């Protein structure tokens, strides 16, 4: 990434998808305390989407920053848009759909800036590929938002190579971040060419649900993680994140827990390194099949 201020210089990004479900963090003062604690630990990146909590995730975050304005210059935000939830579709269909039209994206960027109360969305991602995307118009909307300083960089999430390449061809600026579902619970992108394609195209990988939403702790994989983590004297979650970070290109995990104790343990285990054979042994357990 050319602009150093856009680099994910953290052991993990803090995912905000579950923020609006948290009773403890529903109060802006308590959320401001929580944010300050994270920032003091060096955890500066927060991953939002307009749909999280039907917009209330971004609203809560913005209220906390308003409570403690000194935090504003310390936080870095990623947010995403293009998914329209049924409840927010004013048409007679009330249907979930994607919208990458220039007018929709322009309004979505302004609305996220206003809800979060920040000067810039450091990374703005298209949340899902839209089969009706008008490449030229979408590309121009993203370029214009960068040129206007509203977003630091544009990126994508859940796109296939030909989908992002079509968009990239229309853009002046480079697509920077790429958020994909990648974990021990979902290692497929390492074998179907997706991960290599995004590295080849110079995108920065962000791994969403890096613990499979908690599913890596279940069944055979869960037992293997427990056993190996005990042996190494580390936590199971720390080991699962170390498995991800061992992948060339250093995908940055976007984790979901908001619990202080878990976050502190994971931050401490950030430098944990695993060797090649441990990596493959975990892969075998994850896929329940021998490496070919």
Ligand X SMILES: NC(=O)c1ccc[n+]([C@@H]2O[C@H](COP(=O)([O-])OP(=O)(O)OC[C@H]3O[C@@H](n4cnc5c(N)ncnc54)[C@H](OP(=O)(O)O)[C@@H]3O)[C@@H](O)[C@H]2O)c1
**Catalytic (active-site) positions:** 52
> What are the start-end ranges of the H helices in 117-255?
135-147, 161-170, 194-200, 219-232, 236-245
Neighbours of 123 (CB within 10 A): 26
The only residue of 121, 251, 256, 285 in contact with ligand X, by rule CB under 6 A: 256
**Site for ligand X, residues 208 to 237, rule: CB under 6 A:** 208-214, 217, 237
Exactly one of 20, 79, 168, 179 binds ligand X (CB under 6 A); which one? 179
CB of 13 to ligand X, least distance (A): 8
Shortest separation between residue 18's beta carbon and ligand X, angstroms: 6
- Whose Cβ is closer to ligand X: residue 144's or residue 270's? 270
- Any contact of residue 54 with ligand X (CB under 6 A)? no
Instruction: Check: CB of residue 261 under 8 Å from CB of residue 213.
Output: no
Q: What count of residues does the chain have?
A: 292
Q: How many C-beta atoms surround the C-beta of residue 68 within 10 A?
A: 16
Minimum CB–partner distance for residue 121 and ligand X (Å): 14
Strand partners, 84: 97
Angle, vertex CA 109, rays to CA 113 and CA 133, nearest 5: 165
Query: How far is residue 178's CA from residue 124's CA, in Å, rounded to a whole number?
Result: 10
If phi > 0 it is left, if psi is from -120 to 50 it is alpha, else beta; for residue 14 that is beta
Least distance between ligand X and beta carbon 3 (Å): 22
CA distances 14 to 27, 78, 123, 133, Å, are 18, 10, 14, 29
Binding part of the chain for ligand X, among 135-143, 195-203, 226-234, 253-261 by CB under 6 A, reads 253-261
Pick 124 or 208: Cβ nearer ligand X: 208
- Shortest distance in whole angstroms from residue 254 CB to ligand X: 4
Quote the least distance from Cβ 147 to ligand X, whole Å. 25
* Nearest of 231, 188, 236, 190 to residue 211 by alpha carbon: 236
With CB under 6 A as the contact rule, the residue among 54, 169, 227, 259 that binds ligand X is 259
Query: Would you count residue 264 as binding ligand X (CB under 6 A)?
Result: no
Taking CB atoms, the residue at the shortest distance from ligand X is 256
16 touching ligand X, by CB under 6 A? yes
Contact with ligand X (CB under 6 A) among 30, 173, 246, 262: 262
**Choices 10-18, 26-34, 130-138, 279-287; region in contact with ligand X by CB under 6 A:** 10-18
Which candidate, 38, 39, 58, 40, places its Cα nearest to that of 50?
58
The whole-angstrom separation of Cα 17 and Cα 1 is 25
Note whether 211 and 182 are within 8 A (CB): no
Stretch that binds ligand X, among 3-11, 63-71, 106-114, 248-256 (CB under 6 A): 248-256
| CA–CA gap between residue 22 and residue 38 (Å, rounded) | 16
Binding site for ligand X (CB under 6 A): 15-18, 47, 127, 157-158, 179, 208-214, 217, 237, 254-257, 259, 262
């Amino acid at each position: 990434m050319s602009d150093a201020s856009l680099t994910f210089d953290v052991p993990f990004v803090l995912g905000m998808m579950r923020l609006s479900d948290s009773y403890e963090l529903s109060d802006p003062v308590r959320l401001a305390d929580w944010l300050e604690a994270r920032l003091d630990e060096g955890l500066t990146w927060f991953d939002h989407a307009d749909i999280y909590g039907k917009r209330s995730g971004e609203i809560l975050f913005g209220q906390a920053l308003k409570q403690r304005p000194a935090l504003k210059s310390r936080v870095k935000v990623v947010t995403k848009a293009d998914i329209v939830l049924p409840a927010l579709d004013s048409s007679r269909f009330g249907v979930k759909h994607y919208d990458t039209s220039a007018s929709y994206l322009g309004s979505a960027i302004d609305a996220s800036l206003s809800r979060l109360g920040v000067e810039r969305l450091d990374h703005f991602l298209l949340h899902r590929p839209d089969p009706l995307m008008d490449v030229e118009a979408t590309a121009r909307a993203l370029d214009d938002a960068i040129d206007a300083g509203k977003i630091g960089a544009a990126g994508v999430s859940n796109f296939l190579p030909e989908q992002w390449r079509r968009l990239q061809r229309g853009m002046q600026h480079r697509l920077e971040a790429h958020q994909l579902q990648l974990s021990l619970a979902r290692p497929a992108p390492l074998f179907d060419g997706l991960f290599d394609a995004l590295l080849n195209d110079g995108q920065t990988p962000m791994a969403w649900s890096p613990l499979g939403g908690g599913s890596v702790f279940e069944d055979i994989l869960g037992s293997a993680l427990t056993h190996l983590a005990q042996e190494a004297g580390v936590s199971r979650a720390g080991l699962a994140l170390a498995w991800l970070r061992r992948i060339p290109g250093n995908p940055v995990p976007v984790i979901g827990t908001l619990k202080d104790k878990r976050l502190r343990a994971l931050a401490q285990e950030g430098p944990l390194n695993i060797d090649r054979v441990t990596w493959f042994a975990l892969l075998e357990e994850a896929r329940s099949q021998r490496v070919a």
